[in-house]
Amino acid sequence: MRQGGVGNSHVTGTAAALPEETECDPALRLAVMEEFEHSGLGWLWATDAEGRLSYISANATSGASSLVGRSFTTIVETDSDAAQEQSARTLGFQLSAHSRIADLIVRLAVDKEDGRWWSLSGQPRQREDGSFAGYTGFARDVTREYTRKRDDERAAEYDSLTRLYNRHRMTRRLDAILAAFRPAGRCCGLLMLDLDKFKHVNDTMGHPAGDELLRQVSERLRKVTGDRGEIGRLGGDEFQIILPDLDDRGRLGEIAAKIIQMLSQPYAIGGKRAVIGASVGIAVSPHDGEDREAIVASADLALYAAKNGGRGQFRFFSADLKDEAQERTVLNQDLREALTRDELELHYQPVVRIADNYVVGFEALLRWNHPERGAIPPSLFIPIAEESNLIVPLGEWALRKACEDAAKWPDNVRLAVNVSAVQFAVPGFVGSVASALAVSGLDPERLELELTETVFMRESEAVDETFAALKGLGVRLALDDFGTGYSSLSYLRSAPFDKLKIDRSFVETCAAKDQNSAKIISAIFGLADALGMETTVEGVEAFDQLDVVKKRGAKLVQGHLFARAMPLAEVEAKLVSGDLKLEPSGPKRHRPERRSVFRRVIVIHEDHRYEAVMRDLSRTGARIDGLLGVPVGTSLVVDLGGGQIVVSMVVRSEEAVIGVEFEQSLTSDGAGGLCTRHRVPPSTLAAAAAAAEPKGKPRFIQVAVPGSRDRT
């Protein structure tokens, strides 16, 4: 059906002088319309008052006549990737508002193979009574100019190497998302990540290899992120991921861990293998910043903490990170002087043979006794040492001292020494091992060097040469943390390891129901036997874990169930007395790890707030001191600070000490600690605090808890 109103206009100027019968001739008007349609320059369209297509030119698409009667919004679609000003006002909105449509860029949704773009224009029509009658309009072909414009826009917003968004685009998108989300109180997760050891690939394999590596990294990031967020390369080896409407720190941690896993797998580049890693910092708006500058600064600080924490990990932003960064600077300087001040020592953890509970060896573990701070955890100072390259002199000192100590032990007791990837990569490493053996007189067969898969993050030829030289000295090699990497089998195929050490993460859950850890442990035992290797199981802390690994085939174990790491004097006393049989002693069942803390919290019951101290925190509960008279079964809300609110139930109560079970388990904060999955926005907390007004008498008695100051 043809619409007589299409193309109708008032004629002015020179055209007004034409004869009246020519201006109004319907036949001429029809001829002009048909000529326009047959030219291929565009097509005409019209709708009724309900938005249904009542007319479309036959040349618009094949089968155009069959489209009559369909909703016009199903016929055409806008460019979702385009940065048009009209994108904020969709075609459907403009049609329903009876607005004039001017040069809206569309394509025909009914013909996906048609690559043409059209500039769509239309004018609302009115009936004689003034009511809305529908639209008439036309579309003209703008494919060439629009494609050129879109390509130019994409070139300005996309990284030419990886085809990810560039810094300019990510900045614009983050500004827009945060501005749109702020009024509605919506959240947005932001991940900042750096590649670890990328510079090494560039230096050893060349910049073309580095470019290819970045392209492969971008593809892996796309696979992990999918359609959940937007990915950008900010420059160099720095990437950013925006995850709208995601504030669940458990989910964010899972995504970050998956990214680290994926990016840590080897890359095939030019017939060679490259291995890198990744560190990720995570922040969430509005909790960690309401505008772009604040949220990016928070994510950057979290990334810095992840890199300094040993790399290959993720960290969430917290206000404590600013103090932590300053503390690390101070500890770095103190660590440089620790060796000369004789502040470092070695402790030794026994390796026990399950068959008879006899000690067959010891693992040397570095300890630092700070003159002012006391014992500094290795988990804190070892990453600092690796970041600053202090790990090389520290590692050499530990190797020499351990060999010197072990040379005095019985000949059937072995020594295990950890070697960092940084130390392993030093050109003189093999010479330092040979020197330690020669000076101490230790039999090389008694020395076992424990390495992790990170040693393979070098050129494979150099790694193979180092392995061959070490085996030439006669020392034993052990692959530590086995099972947590992603190419372990390929390493075993080429590297001359004598032992596999099963990572404690499998042991932690091996006795739990519906876990595959026990099956994985069995598989590792079978693999090691087939390759003629020994195995040691780390982290055995309870009898149920010992039973599982023993039934699965374990022969050597380490863990607190038998003994913690002990000073040299204690080791020597046992050796002198011949007391090398250790009876296991510990809990019957492994419980989820509880962290000893001393942390002041707010406990809320009904409309009253109490100050208390939280201790022994785990994923599922905690011990809280400072409240007297709290019955079992009482529902409490625990405010951990920073918007972390936990609904809890009292499951134990004895005098001023209660045990609570959390309604929702906590999640890892990426730094060995725990945090809530969700947080309450600052604005909500402020409003709740302002509205809080206690009514009636408090039901519990708040008592003082001995303690010098808050610490975690």
Judge whether residue 710 has pLDDT over 50. no
- Using pLDDT thresholds of 50, 70 and 90, give the confidence band for residue 82: low
Above 50 in pLDDT, residue 86? no
Per-residue pLDDT at 385: 86
Q: How many residues does the chain have?
A: 712
Q: pLDDT value at position 493?
A: 72
Specify the fold of 326-577.
TIM Barrel (3.20.20)
Render 449-501 in DSSP notation, one character per residue.
EEE-GGGGSS-HHHHHHHHHHHHHHT-EEEEEEETSSS-HHHHHHHS--SEEE
Q: Classify domain 13-149 by CATH number.
A: 3.30.450.20
β strands within 117-255, DSSP E: 118-126, 132-141, 188-196, 230-235, 238-244
pLDDT higher than threshold 90 for residue 193: yes
Mean pLDDT in residue range 17-26: 55
* Residue tagged 């005409």 (tokens): 44
Phi, psi of 362 (to 5 degrees): -135, 145
Residue 8 pLDDT greater than 50, yes or no? no
Fold of 599-702: Thrombin, subunit H (2.40.10)
Give the bridge partners for 635, in sequence order: 649
Query: Which residues are CB-contacts of 226 (< 8 A; sequence separation ≥ 6)?
Result: none
Q: What pLDDT, on the 0 to 100 scale, is given for residue 12?
A: 37
Looking at residue 163, its amino acid is R
Confidence of residue 135 (pLDDT cuts 50, 70, 90): very high
Closest C-alpha among 624, 609, 586, 581 to residue 700: 609
pLDDT tier for residue 21 given thresholds of 50, 70 and 90: very low
Domain ranges (residues) in the chain: 13-149, 158-318, 326-577, 599-702
Question: Which residues sit opposite 165 in a β-bridge?
Answer: 158, 232
Q: Where are the alpha helices (DSSP H) in 279-390?
A: 292-308, 320-338, 378-388
How many C-beta atoms lie closer than 10 Å to residue 393's C-beta?
Answer: 13
Q: How confident is the model at residue 323 (pLDDT cuts 50, 70, 90)?
A: low
CATH H superfamily, domain 158-318? Reverse transcriptase/Diguanylate cyclase domain (3.30.70.270)
Q: Is 678 exposed, middle or buried (0-12, 13-18, 19+ CB in 10 A)?
A: middle
Q: Is the pLDDT of residue 120 over 80?
A: yes
Mean pLDDT of the chain: 86
User: Using CA atoms, how far apart are residues 334 and 331, in angstroms rounded to an integer?
Assistant: 5
Distances (CA, A) of 21 to 11, 24, 510: 13, 5, 95
- If you ran DSSP here, which 8-state letter would residue 366 be given? E
Taking only the tens place, the pLDDT of each residue in 574-624 is: 999 988 999 999 888 876 656 666 788 999 998 888 999 998 888 899 999
Burial class of 137 by CB neighbour count within 10 A (0 to 12, 13 to 18, 19+): buried
User: Please, which pLDDT band fits residue 6 given cuts at 50, 70 and 90?
Assistant: very low
pLDDT tens by residue, 368-422: 988 888 888 887 788 788 877 889 999 999 999 999 999 999 999 999 999 998 8
Could you tell me the pLDDT band of residue 322, with boundaries at 50, 70 and 90? low
Q: State whether residue 518 is helix, strand or coil.
A: helix
Range with the poorest average pLDDT among 32-36, 303-307, 419-423, 579-583: 32-36
pLDDT at 19: 47
Answer positive or negative: Cα dihedral of 590, 592, 593, 596: negative
Torsion, Cα 600 604 608 609, to 10 degrees, reads 10
Is the model's pLDDT at 309 over the cut of 80?
no
Spatial contact of 367 and 345, defined as CB atoms under 8 Å apart: yes
Which is more confident, 106 or 81?
106
Stretch 271-299: mean pLDDT: 92
Whether the CB-CB separation of 494 and 519 falls below 8 Å is answered with no
Tell me what pLDDT residue 663 has.
93
Residue 670 Cα distances to 153, 199, 279, 319, angstroms: 38, 25, 11, 15
Q: Using CA atoms, how far apart are residues 501 and 403, in angstroms rounded to an integer?
A: 21
Could you count the other beta carbons within 10 Å of the beta carbon of residue 266?
Answer: 17
**How many whole angstroms separate alpha carbon 397 and alpha carbon 552?**
38
Question: What b/e readout covers 535-559, taking b as 16+ CB neighbours within 10 angstroms?
Answer: bbbbbbbbbebbebbeebbbbbbbb
Tokens, residue 99: 């607005």
What pLDDT is recorded for position 271? 82
Bond from prior residue into 286 cis (ω within 30 degrees of 0): yes
Q: How far is residue 289's CA from residue 681's CA, in Å, rounded to a whole number?
A: 11
Residues sharing a CB contact under 8 Å with residue 88, sequence separation 6 or more, in sequence order? none
- The Cβ of residue 291 has, within 10 Å, a number of other Cβ atoms equal to 14
pLDDT of amino acid 595: 62
Q: Please report where in the chains the tokens 């960064």 appear, as a residue.
A: 325
- The answer to whether residue 335 scores a pLDDT higher than 50 is yes
Q: Give per-residue pLDDT as tens, 633-678.
A: 999 999 998 889 999 999 999 999 999 999 999 998 877 788 999 9
**CB-CB neighbours of 51 under 10 Å:** 18
Rounded CA separation 382/78 (Å):
55
Q: Which two tokens stand for residue 304?
A: 């810095």
Calpha distance 101→81 (Å, rounded) = 20
Residue 527 predicted with pLDDT over 60: yes
Which residues have C-beta within 8 Å of that of residue 9, sequence separation ≥ 6? none
The answer to whether the CB of 454 falls within 8 A of the CB of 277 is: yes
AA identity, residue 382: I
User: Of all residues in the chain, what percent carry a pLDDT higher than 90?
Assistant: 51
Kindly state the average pLDDT of the residues 244-254.
94
B/e letters for 185-215, b = 16+ CB within 10 Å, e = fewer, are: ebbbbbbbbbbbbbebbbeebeeebbebbbe
| pLDDT of 484 | 65
pLDDT at 87: 43
pLDDT of residue 469: 95
Sort strands 627-628 and 118-126 into parallel, antiparallel or unpaired.
unpaired
Tokens, residue 667? 């999640």
Question: Which 3 state secondary structure label does DSSP give 637?
Answer: strand
pLDDT category of residue 83 using cuts at 50, 70 and 90: very low
pLDDT digits (tens, 9 = 90+) for 449-482: 999 877 876 667 788 899 999 999 999 999 988 8
Res 459: pLDDT: 66
What confidence tier does 712 reach under pLDDT thresholds 50, 70, 90? very low
pLDDT band at 485 (very low <50, low <70, confident <90, very high): low
Summarize the chain as % helix, strand, coil (round to 5).
40, 30, 35
Residue 165, pLDDT > 50, answer: yes
What average pLDDT does the segment 512-539 reach? 87
d(CA 202, CA 183): 45
**Band of the pLDDT at 329, cuts 50, 70, 90?**
confident
pLDDT at 405: 97
As a whole number, mean pLDDT of residues 26-42 equals: 79
> Would the pLDDT of 186 be above 80?
yes
| Distance in angstroms (rounded) separating the CA atoms of residues 505 and 266 | 23
Please, what is the Cα angle at 287 between 283 and 292, to 5 degrees? 60
The predicted model gives 327-346 an average pLDDT of 85
